[in-house]
Amino acid sequence: MPVILAALIRTSLIAAPGMTFVDADFSAIEARVIAWLSGESWVLDVFHTTGKIYEATAAQMFGVPFDRIVKGNPEYEYRKKGKVATLALGYQGGPGALINMGALKSGLSEDELPDIVERWRQANPHTVQFWYDVERAACAAVQSGRRTAVGKTTIAREYDPNNELDFMTILLPSGRKLYYANPGIRPNRFGREGLSYYERTKTAAQWGPCETYGGKLVENTTQAVARDCLFYAMENLEAAGYRVVFDIHDEVVLEVPETQADLDRVVAIMSQPIPWAPGLPLNADGWVGDYFRKD
pLDDT at 204: 67
The percentage of the chain sitting over the pLDDT mark of 90, rounded to a whole number, equals: 86
Q: Break the chain down into helix, strand, coil percent, rounded to 5.
A: 45, 25, 30
* Residue pLDDT, tens place only, 53-81: 999 999 999 999 999 999 999 999 999 99
* Residue pLDDT, tens place only, 68-117: 999 999 999 999 999 999 999 999 999 999 999 999 999 999 999 999 99
Confidence of residue 1 (pLDDT cuts 50, 70, 90): low
Flag whether pLDDT at 28 surpasses 90.
Answer: yes
Rounded CA-CA distance 23/105 in Å is 29
List alpha helices for the chain, DSSP H. 2-11, 29-38, 41-48, 53-62, 77-88, 95-100, 113-123, 125-144, 214-239, 263-270
Which whole number is the average pLDDT over 222-246?
A: 97
* Strand, coil or helix: 294: coil
